[in-house]
Structure 1
Amino acid sequence: MIVFADGSPPMTPAGLLPAEQMILEKMSANPAVFRFASPSSLRFELRMRANILESAAALAQSGAQFSTFANSTCNPAYWTRSPKGAFELRPDVTPADAIRDIFRNGSLYSFECATAMVIVLYRAVIETLGDAVFNDRFANLVLYDWHYDRDLNLRRIDPASVLPGDVVYFSNPDVNPLTPWWIGENAVDMGNGLYFGHGVGVVPGDEIIRALNRNRVPFSTVSASLSDNVIAPDFRVMESWVNGYGMPQAASLGLPLSRTLMTVRIGEATELRFLPVAF
């Protein structure tokens, strides 16, 4: 259910992109209460969520491959690879151009699924707010596991109110120790039962579970499953950046979110410890 603080009537799908219409429909039908200052604030979240879905689909088609940290690869024209397998932004390129290169020259890249989720979210920010905002807010990028710039403002979400564009986690508790990267799968909820997982593509959730179950300890009877770990950017915070960059007037903010939120911050980067490194 959607509630507007300014008393606006329910939003209609007129003028929305198909992905935005799908997200609006699921948000409206969800029993959780989603509170917005005004319809313009809702439109901002719908647009960014749609850009997360589009970015996930684009990464699936980019040619970028899965690899462990030890075997990760990147385009040296944009990134410097550290000994531990992290990608560090070169000082002579912009953050937005470097993120876009992953989608343009995907065959030069390989990384694990947590890094893939961060890359998807970064591109969605670029597509929603533009290069100038991203380059200012996300300077000195490092791509590695769940390390990310604090301006991404990731929050833990109540699994009862998951929406397309949220990042979920499929857990494999009985993973075979010979293939520890199959401990789970970070994935973008694409809506209608589909998920994007780096290395498996955009597939139904059951297909991800089957892939994980093929990599359990012998004779295990504990199936992989979709966990309660769900994260998403804080859309209200990102919407609040709009005015500072000469962009259209943002809606007034300050309402409490209706979903349960949690984050852990460490210096300039943030780690979400509850999501293990996975396929």
Structure 2
Amino acid sequence: MILIDDHTSNEQISKLPLSELERAIVLQKEKSSFTYRYPSLDSLRFELLVRQEITSAARELNSSGVKFAKFSSSRCNEAFWIRESSGGFRLKSGVKPSDAINDIYRNGPLYAFECGTAMVIVWYKAVIESISPDSFDIYFNHLFLYDGEHDPNLVLQVSDKGKEAFPGDVLYFENPDVAPEKNEWQGENVVLLEPGLYYGHGIGIKSAETIIAALNRNRKPNSQTSAFLTDYVVNPDFEFLRKFQSRPVAARVGMLSLQVWA
């Protein structure tokens, strides 16, 4: 069930100019036994916009040419980032944060990193598209890409209590019996793109069964303990992000009508 300012608003919601994916998210929430409360219709619209942009950013990163790498062999475009000894990337002085994130998408083959960093990059790209590059440059101006580290203004909501997952959520596949010499396969952070389909950096866009099979190929010899999808669900605090947007979400939704850290 969806409540807007503590009232059901199915008729209002049905008139929103939503993409197919956004409409599917609304339908899933409306049919849920959980109650999803929003202070305003714009609050719901903004969440849908960000979820749409997260799935788009994940698909774009998958096709950008970026590579998977352990921290010891990570790489970046040094015109925008400083690679530190940890393997993380720090924003260079004088570089716009939005330009640096967008460069990862434009010049993907220059970059290699692991899956925790990939999830943060996806979030940042989605935020840029949701609040505008100018607003992103103001509020996210001290970027450091390393594992799951993120700017304080990217407030994350984390649940491991069986919360429902929707497109745009980040989930986690755990491989509890990973081979010690293949520790990078201890798990996979993924973006839920649509029911049953996930993006994982280094694995690509795959089904749950395919991701589990890939993780299982990197277990200890003779292991009988399969990898599995955990109940861990992470998403940005959409309402917190909404205060950074530089123009009304209504206009932007209309445009869209034309789709445990390792």
Q: TM-score over 0.5 for the alignment?
A: yes
Q: Identify the residue that residue 23 of structure 1 maps to in structure 2.
A: 25
Residue 217 of structure 1 aligns with an amino acid whose one-letter code is K
Q: Identify the residue that residue 187 of structure 1 maps to in structure 2.
A: 190
Which residue of 174, 194, 203 maps to 2:177? 174
How far apart, in 1, do the equivalents of 2:30 and 2:154 lie? 26
Which residue of 66, 69, 75 maps to 2:68? 66
How far apart, in 2, do the equivalents of 1:127 and 1:36 lie? 22
| Alpha-carbon offset, residue 227 of structure 1 | 0.8
Query: Given the two structures, how large is their TM-score scaled by the length of structure 2?
Result: 0.91
| Alpha-carbon offset, residue 248 of structure 1 | 3.1
Check whether the contact 1:182–1:215 (CA below 8 A) recurs between aligned residues. Answer: yes
**What CA RMSD, in Å, does the superposition of the two structures yield over aligned residues?**
1.6
Q: Does 1:151 align with 2:137?
A: no
Residue 47 of structure 2 aligns with an amino acid whose one-letter code is E
1:1-279 superposed matches below 5 A: 1-5=1-5, 7=7, 9-10=9-10, 11-12=13-14, 14-157=16-159, 158-242=161-245, 245=246, 247-248=247-248, 274-276=260-262
Residue 116 of structure 1 aligns with an amino acid whose one-letter code is A
Check whether the contact 1:8–1:39 (CA below 8 A) recurs between aligned residues. Answer: no
Deviations 1:186-233 (A, max 9, x none): 000111200000011111111100000010001111100001221110
Residue 85 of structure 1 aligns with an amino acid whose one-letter code is G
SS in 2 for 1:232: strand
Deviations 1:82-126 (A, max 9, x none): 111110101121000000000010010000000000000000000
Q: Identify the residue that residue 270 of structure 1 maps to in structure 2.
A: none
SS in 2 for 1:187: strand
Residue 261 of structure 2 aligns with an amino acid whose one-letter code is L
| Alpha-carbon offset, residue 249 of structure 1 | 8.5
SS in 2 for 1:148: coil
| Alpha-carbon offset, residue 75 of structure 1 | 0.5
Residue 155 of structure 2 aligns with an amino acid whose one-letter code is N
How far apart, in 1, do the equivalents of 2:65 and 2:38 lie? 38
How far apart, in 1, do the equivalents of 2:175 and 2:80 lie? 34
Check whether the contact 1:73–1:108 (CA below 8 A) recurs between aligned residues. Answer: yes
Check whether the contact 1:177–1:217 (CA below 8 A) recurs between aligned residues. Answer: yes
Of the structure 1 ranges 160-169 and 116-125, higher mean CA displacement relative to structure 2 is found in 160-169
Check whether the contact 2:2–2:8 (CA below 8 A) recurs between aligned residues. Answer: no
Percent identical among aligned pairs is 44
Q: Identify the residue that residue 257 of structure 1 maps to in structure 2.
A: none
Residue 275 of structure 1 aligns with an amino acid whose one-letter code is W
Residue 236 of structure 2 aligns with an amino acid whose one-letter code is P
Residue 204 of structure 1 aligns with an amino acid whose one-letter code is S
Residue 216 of structure 1 aligns with an amino acid whose one-letter code is R
| Alpha-carbon offset, residue 54 of structure 1 | 0.2
Residue 161 of structure 1 aligns with an amino acid whose one-letter code is E
SS in 1 for 2:51: helix
How far apart, in 2, do the equivalents of 1:24 and 1:34 lie? 10
SS in 2 for 1:45: helix
How far apart, in 2, do the equivalents of 1:180 and 1:163 lie? 29
Unaligned runs of 5+ in 1: 251-273
Query: Given the two structures, how large is their TM-score scaled by the length of structure 1?
Result: 0.86
Residue 173 of structure 1 aligns with an amino acid whose one-letter code is P
Check whether the contact 1:13–1:24 (CA below 8 A) recurs between aligned residues. Answer: no
Unaligned runs of 5+ in 2: 251-259
